[in-house]
Amino acid sequence: MKIHLYLSLNPEALIASHLPPEEFGAYLAVGTQKFSRGQAMFFEVDPDVRSDYPPFQNIGTRCVPHLDGSPRRSTYLAIYRVLEHVPVTVLGQLHLATHDGRVLSLNPAPPPATVDRCFHLYQEFCPVTPRVVSTLDPAEFCARLTDPAQPVNVPTIVFAELMLGKLATDIEATSVGNLPYSGLQHLRECLRELNRKPGKPTKVTVRNVRDDVLYRTIQGGFYAGRGREVKHYPLPSPAELDTQHHEWWRSAQASFGS
């Protein structure tokens, strides 16, 4: 049986499996007994990766079919500080599983052109999970956050940019549209602080976000990077999701009662 190698982001883990991505995503989100339901995010990892990282060794002897010949759904290879040991270059598709196990697969693509915005809002997913406002574009944000010379840094980061609407260029805008974030006044104050302190490029708005991803807030897509090496995973627009990935999109919205 073919062995697939996956990097799960919630929780962070390196997993070998005989299941292809759609089946594996359903397994992570729903399980086999359907006692639990929840979103799942995971990367495919090149199974031929060459690394001194011990969990990459002898995968074929650890992920073997069951005695009755059925596929091995998951063999956990590592559950701690995994992302930092996986080169960005070996990350393949990013798979997003909804609470009922429907999977959307995103391919890496060239980063988008820089948009002239004063402020950005980022949601970090792994290895830490704060929500952050910043004056840095995604590439700059990744480079700074993974710079070991900075007092606060991580080796590698996975994050998404969220929409800010009119607040991206006008902190005091009275009409901000349908921004679904709680604590909008706090968000504005964080943006004001960045405005008052030009030398401060980032500000945490929420220290630890554990809620499910509200996909309609994603602006541009997801990013995985270390230093200046960044992979971008664009998320289709809501209109494209509704027409081309309707079942996934309906499921993603249903988890929030929409």
In a domain, 114, yes or no: no
Same domain, 14 and 51: yes
Report d(CA 71, CA 73) in Å as an integer: 6
Residue 238 is assigned to a structural domain of this protein: yes
Query: Both 141 and 244 in a single domain?
Result: yes
pLDDT reported for residue 257:
46
Say if residue 227 is in the same domain as residue 151. yes
Domain that holds residue 43: 4-106
Express each pLDDT in 156-189 by its tens digit: 999 999 999 999 999 999 888 888 888 899 999 9
Q: How many CB atoms lie within 10 A of CB 138?
A: 24
**140 and 243 in a common domain:** yes
Last residue of a domain, one of 75, 106, 137: 106
Q: How far apart are the first and last CA of the chain?
A: 40
Q: Which of 73, 106, 139 is the last residue of a domain?
A: 106
Confidence of residue 44 (pLDDT cuts 50, 70, 90): very high
In a domain, 22, yes or no: yes
- Calculate the dihedral angle through the C-alpha atoms of 4, 9, 12, 14, rounding to the nearest 10 degrees: 10
* 12, 74: one domain: yes
* pTM above threshold 0.75: yes
Work out how many domains the chain is built from and give that number: 2
Indicate if 96 and 164 belong to the same structural domain: no
